[in-house]
Structure 1
Amino acid sequence: MAAMATTKLIHVESMQTAVPTRVTGAGRTLPIAVSAPPLTAAALQRRFRAVLYYRGAAGVEQQVVAEAEERAAWVKESLSAALADHPEMTGRLRLQRSDVDGGASTWEVRLNDNGVRLVLASVDMPMAAFLEAKDLERKEAALALWTDVDVHEPEFCAPFFVQLTRFQDGGYAIGACCSLLLADPLSLVDFLKAWACTHAEMQARSKAAGGGAPPVIQYTRYLQTPGAATRRLRSVPLDACSAASIMTVLFRADAAAAQVDRRALAAACVDRALEKLGSSAGKPPRLTVLAAEGSGGMTVHACDGDGETTAAAAAAALSRGHALRAAYWHEVGLGEIALDGSEPVHASCSVVSPCADEGLVVVMTPAGGGELLISATVPNQ
């Protein structure tokens, strides 16, 4: 009983959807080219997770809750506005089954304006204590909750979640969890930056107009009933949401490296990652490479992880001048995403993959071109 009493919980208070403020992507699709073997249920759960922590105004509990309610309304409104300019973030994964070519199936992202799943939650502890926890990485998975994509009916599952979590001391966290088939980490960070700008602009316009909240937020207050903020859909232990133990290493490479055989490039990245991490487990038996295409689509290439041909090709690729240079997540600007006039006091991110026996390589090209950013994720054994 004593152990149960000390277990820290996260309380999911609301599950909503932020949809674009105008029709944007109806009818459009983005292709996902998948090499053999077909995507499995576990492969559909590969995702990127980012968590940003912000200080809030300290005060009595009622004041903190009231501020959190208004912040939640602002977040939903600004998300909806930002999504109108980024329809690629509002779609759903869809499996197209064909009656020709032997019944082959293809994947795509259908831009149907279904929106982003918005989770509102709370934690029964101060943010300062949460950040000081020794097992922070394990606990913060609860700050960016995820619902698995159904391999049979993926179009009914959201591939992008945004979560607003409030702490007892008024601090709050913004968690984002996005399928790697919808957007790579660099694209997700770019969207979060655009959303933060939209958020600031909307609040500035509201302040210039007299400081009152927009009608939608006023309406939300009007409908608010006593005790609504304490209603809970479910409560789960903070440390019950972690995924498989994996490690990710980042590299930069010149743009010409994108022309190298993807399998060779992936093998080179995984080799370097294992070397940097000091892993003695050897190369994973499988490698998967994800890369965005210029058309906005995605390619997924799977291959054997260990083979003399791949190793030789990797060495040859690096010898042609496509050197891999060390990179770090803070370079993508997560720590600069300001909300309510303040930058985060802490920012963290990770690639999540339930495929514990594979090496996962994501090749990312900045929106304006330039050096590639490559993540190599390997099992932490």
Structure 2
Amino acid sequence: MATCNGNGAANISSKLQVEAIQTVIPLKITDPRFSRRIALSKNLCSDDLQRRFHMVLYYNKASETDSGWIVAGWFKESLGSAIVESPIFAGRLRKLEDDNLEFVSNDSGVRMLEANYPMNMDDFIELKKKENVENELVFWEDIHETSPQFSPLFYVQVTNFKCGGYSIGISCSLFLADPFVMTSFLKMWSKIHNNLVSQIDSPKIPAFYTPNYTKIGSSPNLSIASPKTINQITQTLIFKNPKNPLKMKNEFLKNLASKCVGETEGKIGKKISSNFTFLVNENFENVKVENYSREEIIKGESGLSIMSGNWDDLGADQVRFNEGNKAVHISCWIIIGENDQDLVMITPTPNEDSSELNIIITVSN
């Protein structure tokens, strides 16, 4: 397996170059379409819409014929097939008359970008430990506050490095999916992708192979990360609770949040923000977004059982778009919005055999 070792990271002055942008829609029409109401405890504001989850998976060049351009070329078909199975990922939000939101599976599609970064991948991974540059590997356009129905909720960015390695960057609205649901979808998509590619006879050059349509590196020097994404640094802690379905009431959830917030404050050495957002995904169908003051939620020890978790619990190392080529590095983070209002999110594990609840707490640094 080829590796991506190299020098000269400090001498690279050019930025990410975007070579292609396209929209991936389901390979067949979603019928029947469905909608899902998102209940808000207050009027919608811009920060409510911009909270999102980011993941970057880094892959070495697995063979002479492997590249991010090849992988992305097959995404048009494999992702199109995956969202037939889970059409929620190609849907949009729309605003209702009562200022709540509704999610609609209208097949508007996932936005996908292909990009080029003039640095060796290992050098970039080292650089991101010192500078906040990883945001260039994920794309996000702010959801329009008054007309959210025109804004994608899910972005994929494939970035090719000078050494031949590549990254796959994921951006996903938290109204669309939490990190566990998103990762579950990525695992399913990667299996569909590998099955598709294994059935293709040689030569394995996809129809949507960007180098066939553009001269790589000829696009203008374009930085695509928004200022909010670049500047905000957050810290996320994950906890788990063995869910008792009979106790899935609001008071139980608030007590659970109280327990985990207390644990978080002890671990990070500071209190969460005086007002924070409480997002509850009760059963993957109903989403509630409420706002609480710290005093309303903190009640001391609740006696509830919780366990500490981390990003490894997502199982993102199982996301392999080239069979056997495991990601050499994975990064995950959550953006909570410009006003730095901390986030408490409760969601069940997307596994029929599990009754666990995941409590994800994200605070601004």
Normalising by structure 1, report the TM-score: 0.84
Q: Name stretches of at least 5 consecutive residues in structure 2 with no aligned partner.
A: 1-9
Residues 13 and 233 in structure 1, CA contact (< 8 A), matched pair in contact too: no
1:156-206 Cα distance to aligned partner (Å, 9 max, x none)? 111110110000000000111100001111110000000100011001111
Which residue number corresponds to residue 117 of structure 1?
Answer: 111
Change (3 A) 1:136 1:203: farther
> What is the aligned counterpart of 2:360 among 350, 360, 375?
375
Residues 83 and 89 in structure 1, CA contact (< 8 A), matched pair in contact too: yes
Runs (4+) off by over 6 Å:
237-240
1:343 aligns with 2:326: yes
**CA drift at 1:79:** 0.7
1:56-114 Cα distance to aligned partner (Å, 9 max, x none)? 1577xxx88xx4433221122211111110011110111012xxxxxx22201111001
The structure that has the greater radius of gyration is: 1
1:174 aligns with 2:168: yes
Which residue number corresponds to residue 361 of structure 1?
Answer: 344
Change (3 A) 1:224 1:243: same
Which residue number corresponds to residue 252 of structure 1?
Answer: 240
Partner Cα distance (1:353, 1:231) in 2: 35
Change (3 A) 1:349 1:68: closer
**CA drift at 1:40:** 0.9
**CA drift at 1:303:** 1.3
Change (3 A) 1:72 1:233: farther
Which residue number corresponds to residue 299 of structure 1?
Answer: 288
Residues 115 and 158 in structure 2, CA contact (< 8 A), matched pair in contact too: yes
- Letter of the 1:159 counterpart: L
Percent identity of paired positions between Structure 1 and Structure 2 = 29
- Letter of the 2:235 counterpart: M
Which residue number corresponds to residue 101 of structure 1?
Answer: none
Normalising by structure 2, report the TM-score: 0.88
Residues 275 and 292 in structure 2, CA contact (< 8 A), matched pair in contact too: yes
Partner Cα distance (1:18, 1:186) in 2: 22
1:304-341 Cα distance to aligned partner (Å, 9 max, x none)? 12x2x5322x53xx22xx22210011122111211212
Change (3 A) 1:132 1:357: closer
Partner SS, residue 291 of structure 1? strand
**CA drift at 1:231:** 3.6
Change (3 A) 1:310 1:57: closer
Which residue number corresponds to residue 54 of structure 2?
Answer: 49
- Letter of the 1:360 counterpart: L
Residues 246 and 356 in structure 1, CA contact (< 8 A), matched pair in contact too: no
Q: Within 5 A, what are the aligned runs for 1:170-249?
A: 170-206=164-200, 210-213=201-204, 217-218=206-207, 220=208, 224-225=212-213, 227-232=214-219, 235-236=222-223, 241-249=229-237
Partner SS, residue 141 of structure 2? coil
Q: Within 5 A, what are the aligned runs for 1:99-110?
A: 104-110=98-104
**CA drift at 1:260:** 5.3
Residues 90 and 111 in structure 1, CA contact (< 8 A), matched pair in contact too: yes
Bigger helix share:
1
Change (3 A) 1:234 1:19: farther
Number of residue equivalences: 349
**CA drift at 1:258:** 4.0
> What is the aligned counterpart of 1:31 among 34, 37, 47?
37
Which residue number corresponds to residue 147 of structure 2?
Answer: 153
**CA drift at 1:238:** 7.9
**CA drift at 1:12:** 1.5
Change (3 A) 1:346 1:295: closer
Partner Cα distance (2:31, 2:165) in 1: 35
Residues 45 and 354 in structure 1, CA contact (< 8 A), matched pair in contact too: yes
Which residue number corresponds to residue 268 of structure 2?
Answer: 277
Change (3 A) 1:54 1:137: farther
Partner SS, residue 301 of structure 1? strand
- Letter of the 1:94 counterpart: R
1:135-161 Cα distance to aligned partner (Å, 9 max, x none)? 367211111111100101111111110
Change (3 A) 1:118 1:134: closer
1:88 aligns with 2:88: yes
- Letter of the 1:90 counterpart: A
